[in-house]
Amino acid sequence: MLNLPPLSLYIHIPWCVQKCPYCDFNSHALKGGIPDLEYVDHLLSDLDSDVALTSGRTISTIFIGGGTPSLLTSEAMQRLLDGVRSRLTLANDVEITMEANPGTVEAERFSAYQKAGVNRISIGVQSFSQSKLERLGRIHGPQEAKRAAKLAQDLGLRSFNLDLMHGLPDQSADEALDDLRQAIELNPPHLSWYQLTIEPNTLFGSRPPVLPDDDALWDIYLRGHALLSEAGYQQYETSAYAKPGYQCQHNLNYWRFGDYLGIGCGAHGKLSFSDGRILRTVKTRHPRGYMTGKYLDKQHLVEADERPFEFFMNRFRLLEPMPRSDFTRLTGLDESVIRDKIDNALENGYLVETEHQWQLTEKGKLFLNSLLELFL
């Protein structure tokens, strides 16, 4: 028997104006206009197929990601969220996040998105340096980013997030910290501050730029973390900082091994059932195939021997203490199946253990990959 965790909904919008050279997400550069109303109809048909899997469970959070969701017209966003509300039961305090680019056209739609039900916006700033933005293939400038943040603040949304990257090509520590200071000045309730990594199957992957070395990256992290802490932000996940009470509830559900429906091109889903099954789904990746009505690409049941790694791969991203009972409650497995691995982690100083919880140590944060390998 499994205890059912909170249930979220992820919606993927696959188009961008142009593909960034570092991006390995499922996004496709626009060729002509975006068929947004037609795509929304497919999203809702996709959702129709998944509704039966939810057994009437309430949706606690929704996240509209991409791609660039802010390319959707206000009419398409209204149709999408009205369609979701007519098919699923949403919690009274449901968090509905939408990723947005700071470009002028997208920012002007923020108010309409709010009317449709969006109450949290995540703005992809990445940097406030014009030269760095150009190097990253971004199509907005620093002033547009600041204007978008101000618009989000003035709307009185529940929250908004700024996405910021560090460790950029030829970036000095002072340049990285200057970006961070400018972000903090805009006073977002939430800041995602993550290091640029070179991924395969990207332009940067085939032609890697020169990035800061490990010593420089460590210096940026330590000084940036201190800057964020002084400004009242609390780190609650590897790359996420928030003012008290403003953590992203959708991402917390992922990292706590919660459940989520995934609709749209290439979207992933995870669903637990009270009979002990855990089902993972992946939707058709390319818009061409998806919009023929073939939504489900593949699905599989998560076997018992895969569950410990999947559980800890998510849970160890969070810095909060982890209730030991969550392992059995959410995987259906007894703690005895991982006892030797936990003991190994304790001996290595990656974790500390009390009667009721496990806590990642500073060493555990630094050697996260080594810790996770214990559970493979």
Give pLDDT, residue 105: 61
Last residue of a domain, one of 253, 276, 292: 253
Asked whether residue 295 is domain-assigned, the answer is: no
* 153 and 42 part of one domain: yes
- Do both 182 and 34 map to the same domain? yes
Instruction: Render each residue's pLDDT in the chain as its tens digit; 376 residues.
Output: 688 999 999 999 999 877 777 776 777 777 778 899 999 999 999 999 999 999 899 999 999 999 899 999 999 999 999 999 999 999 999 999 999 988 866 777 899 999 999 999 999 999 999 999 988 888 888 999 999 999 999 999 999 999 999 999 999 999 999 999 999 999 999 999 999 987 887 777 778 888 889 999 999 999 999 999 999 999 999 999 999 999 999 999 999 999 999 999 999 999 999 999 999 999 999 999 999 999 999 999 999 999 999 999 999 999 999 999 999 999 999 999 999 999 999 999 999 999 999 999 999 998 999 999 999 8
Listed in sequence order, the DSSP H helices in 124-262 are 130-135, 142-154, 173-185, 203-206, 214-230, 249-255
Asked if the structure places residue 151 within a domain, the reply is yes
Q: Do 362 and 224 share a structural domain?
A: no
Boundary (domain end) residue, out of 224, 253, 282: 253
Examine residue 273 and state whether it is found in any structural domain, yes or no: no
**How many Å from the N-terminal Cα to the C-terminal Cα in the chain?**
23
Residues 139 and 223 grouped into a single domain:
yes
Cα angle: 326, vertex 276, 50; to 5 degrees: 100
Instruction: Tell me, yes or no, whether 37 and 178 share the same domain.
Output: yes
Are residues 138 and 59 part of one domain?
A: yes
Domain range holding 114?
7-253
Report the pLDDT value the prediction gives residue 259, as an integer from 0 to 100. 98
> Do residues 166 and 244 both lie within one domain?
yes
In this prediction, residue 104 carries a pLDDT of 61
- 32 within some domain: yes
Which residues are 271's β-sheet partners? 279
Sorted by sequence, the CB contacts under 8 Å of residue 27 that are 6+ apart come out as: 14, 15, 16, 19, 66, 67, 68
Look at residues 206, 232, 253 and tell me which one is the last residue of a structural domain: 253
Decide if 300 is inside a domain: no
Looking at the structure, tell me whether residues 75 and 171 fall in a common domain.
yes
165, 196 Cβ separation under 8 angstroms: yes
Is 86 within the bounds of a domain? yes
Domain contains 129: yes
Judged by DSSP in three states, 13 sits in strand
Q: Answer yes or no: are the C-beta atoms of 190 and 160 closer than 8 Å.
A: yes
**Do residues 114 and 228 both lie within one domain?**
yes
Q: Does 240 share its domain with 328?
A: no
> How many domains is the chain partitioned into structurally?
2
Q: Is residue 224 part of a domain?
A: yes
Question: Quick one: 327 and 246 in the same domain?
Answer: no
**Does the reported pTM lie above 0.85?**
yes
Domain identity same for 218 and 115: yes
The 3 state secondary structure assigned to 59-103 is EEEEEEEECCHHHCCHHHHHHHHHHHHHHCEEEEEEEEEEEECCC
Looking at residue 24, its pLDDT comes to 66
CATH of the domain at 78: 3.20.20.70
